[in-house]
Copies of this chain bind each other. A is one copy, B any other.
Amino acid sequence: MSATETEYLTLLGQRAKAASFILASLTAKQKNLLLATIADHLAQRKDDILQANAQDIIAAKQSGLTEAMIDRLMLDEGRLGGIIADIDNVIALADPVGKEAESRVLDNGLRLTRRSVPLGVVGVIYEARPNVTVDIAVLALKTGNAVILRGGKETLTSNKVLSEVIRDALVSLDLPKDAVQLIDSPERSLVSGLLRLDKYVDMIIPRGGQNLQRLCAEQSSIPVILGGIGICHLLVDKQADLVRAIDVIANAKVQRPTVCNALDTLLIHQQIAAEFIPNIASHLHSLGVRFHACAIALPYLDGLGFDVTPAHDESFSTEWLSLTLGIKVVNDIDEAVEHIRQYSTGHSEAILTDNIHTASDFMNQVDSAAVYVNASTRFTDGSQFGLGAEVAVSTQKLHARGPMALDALTTYKWLAWGDYTCRQ
């Protein structure tokens, strides 16, 4: 990183930290007014935002991005309306800041409490979708945090306008505009620099693929919330209802195959493999699913009228994010659990079984953020869990695991009142 870049990031960090102290003192009412003001400003500046996005789209087409990718970058009146409407949902949520717990008077008279407070400064590194710029800024401000945003280069023009609109809204209420700052250069070295800004930044949230997650885990001196990568498994036990199983598996695989809680590997108990595999495979094939199958499963997939890829080294260590599905036959639940321990990213796993002991064993032995009995993996999601807002889906074990709600953007401090109290 160049000296200029270091200086630039240090300034960003200092400004964010200074802003965070002011944000931390705001009441829930003041923060909700801020969010409403941001929604107003976004609505008023609609044309500027769509114009900036149109520039990003032209550049994306020129650089040959796929249609699917371009669709992800694209904002139109409807989508922008949705982003603005979502702000109202966040306003309606309870403020997790200022809750007190563990309050008590100690034997020596010291009155102790543990109060929830904002984290301070959150750094968010994300790709593609420009809605994240607004979403994450709004969630951070709702919880009294300053935020440093680093979006993808494909939406830099959109992100610049979106963050400027949010900063204008802050200024209109005499609040520090540096509560929301965008890294406005696509230089990759700035990501590495952001990850070492531990003097000012309290948490890094990478929202993107495996490479970004790995980069953050390896380079960051700031605590990182890893997540959003799901190699998800579903085990069909020998005692599952093999008729009802079909809809659940189809739901897990097909409903939205491009997301992290979609099914990647179907594990099938060997005792029902001969009966079940042709049925489920035919059904999923009719929905457009392709298969990578283990050597034991392959014969059962023969003669169904479609090709099947024999599972190779990476078939079970790939998050498909598409209509491909791995199929593996297991001898028993132990082998299924072993497979999951080896290949899972700790996101979401499910078992279908009517045996209560098998269900319980699976839940106890599988160490993932979400474990399901007789349900689709697709439920791992903040709004499905009824958590209100989703900041990210964590697959690590510290601070927050699974869908992270607003309270994951807070920490706490211990407060104690004495009467000139000394330790004995």
Residue ranges of A at the interface with B (Cβ–Cβ < 8 Å): 21, 24-25, 104, 106, 110, 112, 117, 119-120, 198, 202-203, 217-218, 221, 223-224, 241, 244-245, 247-248, 251, 255, 341, 352, 359, 363-365, 367-376, 378-380, 384-386, 396-399, 401-403, 411-423
- In the docked arrangement, what's the CA distance between A397 and B423, Å? 26
- In the docked arrangement, what's the CA distance between A414 and B404, Å? 12
B420 near A352: Cβ-Cβ < 8 Å: yes
B224, B247, B398: the one contacting A399 at CB < 8 Å is: B398
B379 near A423: Cβ-Cβ < 8 Å: yes
- In the docked arrangement, what's the CA distance between A400 and B282, Å? 50
A421 near B367: Cβ-Cβ < 8 Å: no
B371 near A416: Cβ-Cβ < 8 Å: yes
A374 near B244: Cβ-Cβ < 8 Å: no
B203, B374, B376, B421: the one contacting A375 at CB < 8 Å is: B421
A418 near B386: Cβ-Cβ < 8 Å: no
Q: Considering only CB atoms, which chain B residue lies closest to A363 in the complex?
A: B415
**Chain B contacts for A419, CB-based, 8 A:** 374
B367 near A414: Cβ-Cβ < 8 Å: no
B373 near A203: Cβ-Cβ < 8 Å: no
Q: What are 11 A-B interface contacts by the 8 Å CB criterion? A: A25-B364, A120-B397, A198-B217, A202-B397, A369-B413, A371-B415, A374-B419, A376-B418, A376-B421, A379-B423, A384-B423
- In the docked arrangement, what's the CA distance between A421 and B384, Å? 13
- In the docked arrangement, what's the CA distance between A131 and B214, Å? 36
**Chain B contacts for A374, CB-based, 8 A:** 417-421
A411 near B418: Cβ-Cβ < 8 Å: no
- In the docked arrangement, what's the CA distance between A217 and B224, Å? 11
Q: Beyond A365-B21, A386-B106, is A245–B399 a contact (Cβ under 8 Å)?
A: no
Given contacts A245-B420, A370-B416, A378-B422, 5 further A-B contacts (CB under 8 A): A251-B423, A255-B423, A369-B414, A374-B419, A401-B413
Closest A-B pairs by Cβ, 3 of them: A375-B418, A251-B422, A397-B411
- In the docked arrangement, what's the CA distance between A25 and B334, Å? 14
